[in-house]
A = this chain, B = another copy of it.
Amino acid sequence: MNSDTGVNLPALRNHNAALVLDLLRTAGEEGASRLELADRTGLTPQAVSKITARLREEGLVAEAGYRASTGGKPRTVLRLVPGAAHAVGLHLDRDELTAVLVDLSGVIVAANVVPLDLGAGAEVVMEVAAGEVAALTSRPLLGVGVAMPGPLDHAAGVPHRVTGFPEWDGFPLRDALARRLGLPVVLDKDTNAAALSIALSGAGGDSFGYLHLGTGLGAGLVLGGAVYRGARTGAGEFGHQTVQLDGPACGCGGRGCLEALCLAAVARGDLDEAARVLGAGAANLVKLLDIDRVLLGGRVVAGAAEPFVRGVRAVLAERAERAGEAPVPVALADGSPDPVAEGAAQLVLAPVFGR
């Protein structure tokens, strides 16, 4: 709940309803009983009964069987109704567009991938995007989430200086696409969308960094359970941190950038060195933000997962041992075929669950 604004009764009601929905989403197939929800929320069982009654009336929640009795009346299991709402996620990458349709529980119901030239201009891209949305479903949608390479402004829904495609600079993509589709549209960086999808899957814990090694090297940050975007959606510029003062020049104009060193090692086939360099950056991130976990993804990592996970893990383990702490776990982000497209759809679902 926004701590900068006053809270009145409708806001309170929405907050508690969203909280209950989020708990039911997390519970998944297993569901949760009214008393379990009361325990988790700190509300009284009667309040939970009233809230879930409203949610059942709206069709978002349904009763689904009973728990085993523990000596008295068995608990009634409540579950989210996955089909109650749907959202579309679009992943605009440099050379292809991935579109997914997800239900309320976040499960991918339908998906499609088509070639796309991100440099072909906004009109062409919007045409393709609108076609893909229409092709996925004729059902009413909650909205459409769009994820693309940064930099961009999440709050305003406008890309800036997308690397290599100056024609996107300042184009009001969110509003233009929303008008065209007649639906709410949310825009975010690809790495943030991926981080959101990992956060909702629970694989990252309460706070983690998702390091994406593909064409470039970026990061999505989840701090305290929420995607951290910074003041201007600029957070997560991980690749252009200096790890070698006065080191080799980088395309960004700087020297000794992590991305340049890491990708140079990849280019010459020295994956161990690439992983070691990446591990140094990950260690900087872990120290600065005290996160619970580091997750790796992106095309380069997907192509050679083992050396990267092992190499980054080794660097973090060595530093943790010297400090006498437990090492921060390192894992592959492999929960979804396209975490970016999935996360894009979840940008739309997130407000329903108070996120």
Residue ranges of A at the interface with B (Cβ–Cβ < 8 Å): 1, 3-9, 12, 15-16, 19, 41-43, 47, 161, 206-207, 219, 221, 223, 225, 228-238, 240-245, 247, 252-254, 261, 277, 280, 283-285, 287-292, 319, 322-324, 354
Contacts and interface: CB of A to CB of B under 8 A. Distances in A.
Given A235-B288, A245-B247, 17 more contacts: A3-B15, A5-B19, A5-B41, A6-B16, A7-B15, A9-B12, A207-B230, A231-B291, A236-B288, A238-B287, A241-B283, A242-B280, A243-B244, A245-B277, A252-B322, A253-B322, A285-B288
B6 A47 contact: yes
B6 A19 contact: yes
Contact of A290 (B230, B241, B254, B292): B230
A175 to B, nearest CB: 23
B322 A242 contact: no
Top 8 A-B residue pairs of the complex, sorted by shortest distance between their CB atoms: A230-B290, A234-B290, A6-B41, A237-B287, A6-B43, A253-B322, A241-B284, A1-B1
20 contacts: A1-B15, A3-B354, A4-B19, A4-B225, A5-B42, A6-B43, A6-B47, A7-B7, A7-B12, A223-B228, A230-B289, A235-B288, A236-B288, A237-B288, A241-B284, A242-B243, A243-B244, A252-B323, A284-B284, A285-B288
Nearest to A224: B228
A241 B228 CA distance: 21
Contacts of A285: 288
With most chain B CB atoms within 10 A of its CB, the pick from A41, A221, A231 is A231
A319 B254 contact: yes
A323 B290 CA distance: 28
A326 B233 CA distance: 15
Given A6-B47, A242-B280, A243-B242, A291 B230 contact: yes
A94 B299 CA distance: 49
Contacts of A231: 206-207, 290-292
B242 A245 contact: no
A4, A42, A285: residue with the most chain B Cβ atoms closer than 10 Å: A4
Contacts of A243: 242-245
A288 B323 CA distance: 24
Nearest to A355: B3
A193 B339 CA distance: 38
Contact of A7 (B6, B16, B291): B16
Given A7-B15, A230-B207, A292-B231, A242 B47 contact: no
A233 B47 CA distance: 35
B235 A290 contact: yes
B19 A161 contact: no
B6 A1 contact: no
Contacts of A223: 223, 228, 230
Contacts of A9: 12
Nearest to A261: B245
Contacts of A247: 245
A102 to B, nearest CB: 23
A111 to B, nearest CB: 31
A246 B244 CA distance: 9
A318 to B, nearest CB: 9
A120 to B, nearest CB: 24
Contacts of A245: 243-244, 247, 261, 277, 280
